[in-house]
Amino acid sequence: MDLRRPPRSSSGGVEPKIRQVGFVTPDVSSEPPAPAVPAAAAAAAQPAASSAGSPPASDLSPGSLSPVMIPPPRHADHLAPGSPSPAASASELGDDESWSRAPSAAELEANKGDLAEIRNDNVSASIPQKQKTSKAERRAIQEAQRAAKAAAKETGLSGKSAGTVSGANPAMSKQAKSSKASQKKDVPQAASTAASEKKVTERPPERDRKKDAPHPRMQFDDVHRVEKAKKRAIVNQSEARNRVELFRHLPQYVHGTQLPGLESKFFQLEPMHPSVYKVGLQYLSGEVSGGNGRCIAMLLAFKEAIKDYSTPPKKNLSRDLTAKISSYVSFLIECRPLSISMGNAIRFLKNRIAKLPLTLSESEAKSSLQSDIDRFINEKIVVADKVIVSHAITKVRDNDVLLTYGSSSVVEMILDHAHELGRKFRVIVVDSRPKLEGQGLLRRLVEKGINCTYTHINAISYIMHEVTRVFLGASSILSNGTVYSRVGTASVAMVAHAFGIPVLVCCEAYKFHERVQLDSICANELGDPDIILKVPGKADLGHLKNMADNENLQLLNLTYDATPSDYVSMIITDYGMVKYLAPLIAVFYLSYLGIFI
Amino acid sequence: MPDVQPLVREFVLKLKRRKVEGSHAVARQTAELLRSVVSQHRMGSTNQAAALADAIRGVGEQLIAANPIELAVGNIVRRVLHIIKEEDISSTAVGIEGLSVTAESDDEYDSENDDHPTLSAAVLAAHARNALRAPSLQTLLEDIPVSTALSRSASSAGDSDGKSGDKSSKSRKLKHDVIAAIGDLIDEIDTCYDQISEQAVEHIHQNEVILTLGRSRTVKEFLYAAKEKKRSFRVFVAEGAPRYQGHVLAKELVEKGVQTTVITDSAVFAMISRVNMVIVGAHAIMANGGVIAPVGMNMVALAAQRHAVPFVVVAGSHKLCPLYPHNPEVLLNELKSPSDLLDFGEFSNCMNFSTQDGTPLLNVVNPTFDYVPPKLVSLFITDTGGHSPSYMYRLIAEYYSADDLVVKRSTTNYS
C-alpha cells in the first residue's frame, strides 16, 4: 500500500488516466487475453483493500514506468500495450473511494473474463477517444453522474448510471466497438455498459477531487442546473426574492416554507430512513447546529439506517448502500448545506463501504460499518476533543481573561475543564445577531459557576483592553491556513491582533480540508434573510417590515467567514499545537482519501 | 439673570435625563440657550466682555456637567466664548480707530487717517479676526497695509476704553454683535448638511460600493446628494447593534431608490473586500483627529485598513472638540442598559448565581461609543471642506481659543 496520490494530483485534473502506454515490455502485451485476465483478476482481487496509485507499477511488468505520464498516442494501432491499461485502470478503481468505483469492482467480479477483453478493447479504443473527448462530453457525463447521485428514488446504480452514461456516450461506445478488431461483439450491452463504466471510473478521481471540495458544488447561478436540481429535490424550495448579486453562486431559499412541506411529506418518503429524516428536520429548524453536533447526528442516523438496511435481491451491498447513503446526503443538503466536517465524514463512510471485503456476509458487513462509524466518532471527535482540551489547558493560566465568540463545543470543554481544575479566570462571551449562539454558552457557563461577561460584537474594541487570550472554534481550517468559521470570527481575530492579544483556534483534525479560500464570498452559506428584519424584543423596530418586497432592498445573512491566517497565533488540534498548518492538512486530508491512520 | 435661569435649569435637566440626544439637536439648543443668556445679560460699565464671558462660563459649566459625554455642548460653549473674545477685540479696534481719528491732528497723516473711518465696523471686525488668526495666504497677500495700520493703532491705544464717552453704545454694540454671531453659528449648525453634501459628487462616482454602519443624518444627506446627481452606487448598511439604526437608514435609502443591502455587524469583515469606500458619521472629532463614533466603528476602521479601503468621516464643524482624548473608551463612553443585549426575564435565573462575596457571576457590557484613532481615518469631510486627520488642530485654532479649554467660572467679581 503506497501513497501514490500525489503524482496524480500534481499532474492536474483533466489529463488522461491511461499510463504506461509506450513503455510496457512485450511479455505482458504479447498475450493480451491471458495475462490481461489474470492481471485484471489480480487487480480486481486486490480489492478495496488496495489503494492509491502504486498498483500501476506493481501490476505491470517490470518494464513500465508508472510515474511517467505519457499522453497516449493518437492512433489505436500503436496501442499494443493496451493490456496493462486495464490493470492500471482496475487498480485505479481500487483506490478510488467514490461510489462510482464500487460498480466497476462489482462488474469485475460479475463478468471478469468478458470485461477484461472488452475493457481491453474499449480502453485501448478509448485512448484515442480520450484525446478527442471534449469538455462538453465530460460535462455531460458529470451531469449524468449528478443526476444519478441526486436521484430521490433509489435505483441500482449500475442500471441508472450505465443507462445515462451510456446514453451520453453512444458515440464512444460505438467507436470503441468498431475500432478494434475484436471478436467480442456478443455482448454489446455489456460492452457499452463496461465502456460507460470505464468512462465513469476513469473520470471520477479528478472529478471527485473537484467535487470533494467542499461538496457537490452546484452552480446556483446557472438557471438550467437549478431547475434540474429542483425537479429532483424532495424539499420544495422557493428561491428568496431580492437575492444579493454577489452571492448568486450560492443557494438562497425562503426558509419558512420548508419545514411544513417536509412534515406533510413524512409518510410519502419511502426511501428516506426515519432517523435521517429526523436529522434533516433538526437541521432545518436549527435545533442541531455546530460542526461536531451535526456530524455526530448525521453519523448516528446513518448507523441506524445501516442497521435497518437489507440488500435488495440481485444487488451488490456496497454499491447499493453507497447509493442509498448518497440519496440521504442529498436530502440533508436540501435541508441545510453540508458543513465541511460532515463532508469529510461522508467521504470516510463511503470509503469504508467501498473497502468492504467482498467475502463478508451482509450482517457482518453491516456490523463492520457500524463499528467503523463508532470508531470514527470516538477517535476523531470525542477523543480528539479530549486531546485538544489537554493541550489547550496549558494555555489557561490564573487570572486570565479569556474571550470567546459564539458557541464552540471545544472551547466550552476547555473552559469547563479549566474551571474543574480550579484555575482562576473569567470569560468574556461575545455574541452577534442573528443566531445569538453566545447566549446558550453564557447560560451554561454561569450555571457552572464561571465568572462571565457578555457583550455584542460591536463592543469588542471596548472590551479587548481587558482580554489576555482569545479562544475560537472553527468549522474548518483550509489548506492555506484560513480559518473557516462562524461569521464574525474574522472581526474578533482582527481586533485581537490589533491589540496584540494571542488568538488560539481549536479545531479537530477531521475538519481540515485541502481547498483554499481567499475571502468569505467564494464559498459560504446563506441563511434566512428575513431574520435580519426581525429583531427580537424590539417590536418597534419594524422599519423594514413592509419593505421586504422592494427591489432596492436586499438582506444578507451570511453564516460563515474566512479568517486570514496571519490573525491566528496558534492552532490547537488533536495532533498538537501548530502555527503553520499547511503540511499537516496535506497529510491528514490524504488520509481520508485512502488510508486511515 | 432671573429670566434665563429657568431656561438653563430646564435644559440641564433634559441633558441629564438624556431627553435630547444627538450632536445636532444638542448643539442647536445649546446655542439658542446661550443666545438667550447673552441677550438677558445686563452689561456693566467696565470689562463688559469679560463679564459676559464669565456669565457664559457659569452657564456652560452647568451644561457640561449635566452630560459630559455630549461633547457638542462644550463645543458650543467654547465657540460662544471665542465669539465674545473676537467681537470684543474687533469692537475695541473700532473704538480705537474712532479715538485715533479724533486724536490725530498732523497733516501728514491726515490722508492716511481719513481712509480709516470709512472702513465699516464689520470690515474692521473681519480684519481683527484675521489678526487674531495665524496669517493665512489670503491675508498676507491682500490686506497688508490695512492690517498693519490696525495693529499699530490697536497696540498704541491698548487699554484705553470708554474714553470717547459712548460706553452704552459700545456695550450695546458688543451684545448686538455677539448675538448676531451666535445667530450665524446657529445657521452654520443648520446648514452643515448642505455644505457637506455639496462635496458628495467629488467622492462618489460610478459603480461605487459604499459601506456604512448605523445611521448618521450627515451620511444620509451625503448619499442623497450623490443620488440626485445621478451617481450610481450601492450601499451596504451594517445594522449597528444594539440600536439597530442601520435599519432606519436602509429604509430611507431604499425610499430614495438607492440599492441597499442590510448586513449584520459580524459580516462587515466578510463584505469589506468588495467595498470601495466606507463613509460614516461621528459623534465627535477630537483635537488629535481621533473620532468618537457609535460602537462598532473601530472594528469597521480596522477592517477597512486591512483591505486598504478609504475610511471617510463626515461631520459638521460643531462636532469638532478642542480636547485631546485620554483613555476615551472609558472616559468618553457611556454604558447603557444590559436589557438591550439580554432579556432580563430570560436570564433572571442566571442572576441568582454569584461568587462567595456576593458579586454576580454575570456582567453585561453595553457601551455606546467607540474610539477610532486618527491613523485609521483617511479623510474628514466637514462643512469647510475635506481635511486629513493631522489638519484638525488648525480648525480648532480657528474656532476656539486656548484658554477656554477648561470651562470654569472665575471667582473674581466684575462690577
CB neighbours of residue B200 within 10 Å: 21
CB proximity A360 to B under 8 Å = no
CATH number at residue B4: 1.20.120.420
Contacts of A381 (CB under 8 A, 6+ apart): A292, A295, A296, A508, A510
- The Cα of A492 is separated from the nearest Cα of chain B by a number of Å equal to 8
Chain B hits for A458, CB-CB cut-off 8 Å, are 240-242, 265, 295-296, 299, 370
Query: What's the pLDDT tens digit per position in B257-295?
Result: 999 999 999 999 999 999 999 999 999 999 999 999 999
Q: Tell whether B325 is covered by a domain.
A: yes
CA nearest to B351 within chain A: A446
Q: Min CA distance, A217 vs chain B (Å)? A: 21
For an interface test with A, which of B220, B259, B272, B299 has the most A Cβ atoms less than 10 Å from its Cβ? B299
Other beta carbons less than 10 A from residue A297's beta carbon: 23
Nearest to B270 among A431, A450, A487 (CB): A487
Among candidates A442, A491, A547 on the partner chain, residue whose Cβ is nearest the Cβ of B266: A491
pLDDT at A369 over 80: yes
Structural domains of chain A ordered from first start: 269-383 (1.20.120.420), 396-524+559-593 (3.40.50.10470)
pLDDT of residue B407: 83
- The stretch B143-162 carries a mean pLDDT of 46
Distance in Å, alpha carbon of A86 to nearest chain B alpha carbon: 49
Q: How many CA atoms lie within 13 A of A382 on its CB side?
A: 8
Rounded to two decimals, the pTM is 0.72
Per-residue pLDDT at B227: 95
First to last CA, chain B: 15
Q: What confidence tens digit (pLDDT) does each residue in A517-534 have?
A: 998 998 899 888 888 888
pLDDT score of B345 more than 50: yes
A446 to chain B, any CB pair closer than 8 A? The answer is: yes
* Amino acid A112: pLDDT: 46
pLDDT digits (tens, 9 = 90+) for A190-235: 444 444 444 444 444 444 444 443 344 566 667 777 777 666 665 5
| B266·A432 Cβ contact <8 A | yes
- Whether B230 is covered by a domain: the verdict is yes
Taking CB atoms and an 8 Å limit, are B270 and A244 in contact across chains? Answer: no
Q: Please indicate, yes or no, whether residues B183 and B278 belong to a single structural domain of this protein.
A: no
At residue A6's C-alpha, the angle toward residues A216 and A524, to 5°, is 30
Answer whether residue A555 shows pLDDT above 80. Answer: yes
Query: Does residue B213 sit in the same domain as residue B82?
Result: no
Instruction: Quote the pLDDT of residue B143.
Output: 57
A289-312 tens-digit pLDDT: 889 999 999 999 999 999 998 888
- With H, G, I as helix, E, B as strand and everything else as coil, classify residue A453: strand
Q: How many whole angstroms separate alpha carbon A493 and alpha carbon A568? A: 7
Average pLDDT of span A6-27? 47
Residue B384 reports pLDDT greater than 80:
yes
d(CA B349, CA B357): 18
Residue B213 pLDDT exceeds 50: yes
A550:B254 CB<8 A: yes
CB A291 within 8 A of CB A525: no
Q: How confident is the model at residue B127 (pLDDT cuts 50, 70, 90)?
A: low
Return the DSSP state at B348. G
The per-residue pLDDT for B383 is 92
- pLDDT given for residue A544 in this prediction: 66
Give B125's pLDDT tier (boundaries 50, 70, 90). Answer: low
pLDDT band, very low/low/confident/very high, at A141 (cuts 50, 70, 90): confident
Maximum mean pLDDT: which of A256-270, A272-286, A488-502, A550-564: A488-502
* DSSP E strands, A366-450: 400-405, 425-431
Position B161 pLDDT exceeds 60: no
- The pLDDT, as a whole number, for residue A418 is 96
Interface residue of A424, A426, A462, A530 to substitute, partner B, most B CBs within 10 Å: A462
| High-pLDDT (> 90) share of chain B, % | 57
Do B247 and A544 lie within an 8 Å CB cutoff? yes
Interface contact flag, B361 A451, Cβ < 8 Å: yes
Partners of residue A541 in chain B, C-beta under 8 Å: 244, 247
Average pLDDT over every residue of B155-162: 44
More confident residue, A533 or A410: A410
Residues B187 and B261 grouped into a single domain: no
pLDDT band, very low/low/confident/very high, at B373 (cuts 50, 70, 90): very high
Q: pLDDT: is A36 or B237 the higher one?
A: B237
Q: Do B350 and A447 touch (CB under 8 A)?
A: yes
Sign of the alpha-carbon dihedral angle for A86, A90, A92, A97: positive
The pLDDT of residue A265 is 65
**Average pLDDT for residues A413-430, to the nearest whole number?**
95
Nearest to A491 among B236, B254, B268 (CB): B268
Instruction: Tell which of A433, A461, A467, A563 to mutate to test the B interface (max B CBs under 10 Å).
Output: A461
Which residue of chain B comes nearest to A566, CA vs CA? B306
Same domain? For B255 and B334 the reply is yes
Q: Please check whether residue B267 is in contact with residue A487, taking contact to mean a CB–CB distance below 8 angstroms.
A: yes
Where residue B227 sits, what CATH number does that domain have?
3.40.50.10470
Same domain, B314 and B368: yes
Q: Which residue has the higher pLDDT, B149 or A485?
A: A485
Residues A233, A234, A238, A243, CA torsion sign:
negative
pLDDT for residue A176 is more than 70: no
User: In this structure, is the dihedral angle defined by the CA atoms of residues B399, B405, B407 and B413, taken in order, positive or negative?
Assistant: negative
Residue A111 scores a pLDDT above 50: no
Strands A476-477 and A553-555: unpaired
Partner-chain contact A562 B270, CB within 8 Å: yes
**CA separation (Å) from B32 to A357, B35, B39, B217, B321?**
90, 5, 11, 21, 19
Cα separation, A115 vs A90, whole angstroms: 11
Would you state the pLDDT for residue B42? 84
Question: Are both B184 and B221 inside the same structural domain?
Answer: no
Chain A residues 520-539 with a CB less than 8 Å from chain B: 520-521, 524, 532-533, 535, 537-538
Residue B356 lies in a domain: no
Q: Mean of the pLDDT values across residues B93-117?
A: 54
Asked if pLDDT for residue B106 goes beyond 70, the answer is: no
Please tell me the distance in Å from A542's CA to the nearest CA on chain B: 9
Position A121 pLDDT exceeds 90: no
Tally of structural domains, chain B = 2
Among A91-95, A127-131, A273-277, B367-371, the range with the most confident prediction by mean pLDDT is B367-371
Q: Are B315 and B379 in contact (CB under 8 A)?
A: no
Per-residue model confidence (pLDDT) at position B364: 93
Contact in structure between A123 and A198 (CB atoms under 8 Å): yes
Of A465, A543, A558, the CB nearest to B248: A543
Average pLDDT over residues A538-560: 75
Q: How much is the pLDDT for A318?
A: 86
Strand blocks (E) in A482-532:
483-486, 503-506
* A447 interfacial to chain B (CB closer than 8 Å): yes
- Of A488, A487, A493, the residue nearest A564 (C-alpha): A493
**pLDDT band for position A88 (cuts 50, 70, 90):** very low
Nearest CA distance, B217 vs chain A (angstrom): 17
Residues 223-282 of A with CB under 8 A from B: 244, 246
- In one letter, which amino acid is B16? K
B319, part of any domain = yes
Please indicate, yes or no, if residue B149 is contained in any of the structural domains: no
Q: B-chain residues within 8 Å CB-CB of A461?
A: 295, 298-299, 329, 370-371
- Of these ranges, A68-77, A85-94, A261-270, B151-160, the one predicted with the greatest mean pLDDT is A261-270
Residue A566's pLDDT is 93
Hey, are the CB atoms on B350 and A446 less than 8 Å from each other?
yes
The pLDDT confidence band at residue A545, using thresholds 50, 70 and 90, is: low
- Contact in structure between B316 and B28 (CB atoms under 8 Å): no
Could you say which of B247, B274, B341 has the minimum Cβ distance to residue A456?
B341
pLDDT of B408 reads 80
Type and span of the H or E element at A291: helix A291-307
B128 located within any domain? no
B63 and B91 in a common domain:
yes
Of A75-79, A123-127, B5-9, where does the model show the most confidence?
B5-9
Residues B267 and B387 in one domain: yes
Q: For the residues B58-76, what does the mean pLDDT come to?
A: 92
Tell me the average pLDDT across B159-175: 62
Identify whether residues B176 and B288 lie together within a single domain. Answer: no
pLDDT at position A254 is: 61
Q: Which pLDDT score, from 0 to 100, does residue A430 have?
A: 96
Mean pLDDT, all residues of chain A? 71
**What pLDDT shows up at residue A140?**
73
List the one residue out of A290, A510, A501 whose CA is nearest residue A387.
A510
The answer to whether B190 touches B28, Cβ cutoff 8 Å, is yes
Contact (CB<8Å) B270/A490: yes
User: Which chain A residues touch B365 with a CB distance below 8 Å?
Assistant: 453-455, 459, 462-463
B295 closest CB neighbour out of A459, A521, A535: A459
Residue A325: predicted pLDDT: 92
Higher pLDDT, B218 or B126: B218
Residues B83 and B187 occupy one common structural domain: yes
Nearest-neighbour CA in chain A from B319: distance (Å): 22
Residues of chain A contacting residue B262, judged by C-beta atoms under 8 Å apart = 532, 544, 553-556
pLDDT, mean of residues B128-156: 54
Closest Cβ opposite residue A554 in set B261, B342, B366: B261
Residue A378's pLDDT is what?
A: 95
How does pLDDT run across A435-451, given as a tens digit for each residue?
899 999 999 999 899 99
Contacts of A432 in chain B (CB under 8 A): 241, 264-266
* CA count, 13 A, side-chain hemisphere, B390: 1
Q: Is residue B153 part of a domain?
A: no
Tell me, what's the pLDDT at B369? 95
Find, in chain A, the residue whose alpha carbon is nearest to that of B254.
A552
Shared domain for B188 and B216, answered yes or no, is no
Tell me the residue range of the domain where B281 lies: 204-346+363-399
Q: Return the C-alpha cell found at A210.
A: 473537484
What average pLDDT does range A46-60 have in this prediction?
A: 40
The answer to whether residue A556 scores a pLDDT higher than 70 is: yes
Taking the CA of residue A272 and the nearest CA in chain B, the distance in Å comes to: 36
> Would you say residue A252 has pLDDT above 90?
no
- Distance to chain B for A546, nearest Cα, Å: 10
Nearest CA in chain B to A524: B270
Q: Which long-range contacts (CB under 8 A, 24 or more apart) does B227-230 make?
A: B227/B256, B227/B257, B227/B258, B229/B200, B229/B201
Shared-domain flag, residues B237 and B185: no
- B248 in a structural domain: yes
Q: How confident is the model at residue A35 (pLDDT cuts 50, 70, 90)?
A: very low
* Nearest chain B residue (CA) to A443: B350
**B136 — pLDDT class (breaks 50, 70, 90):** low
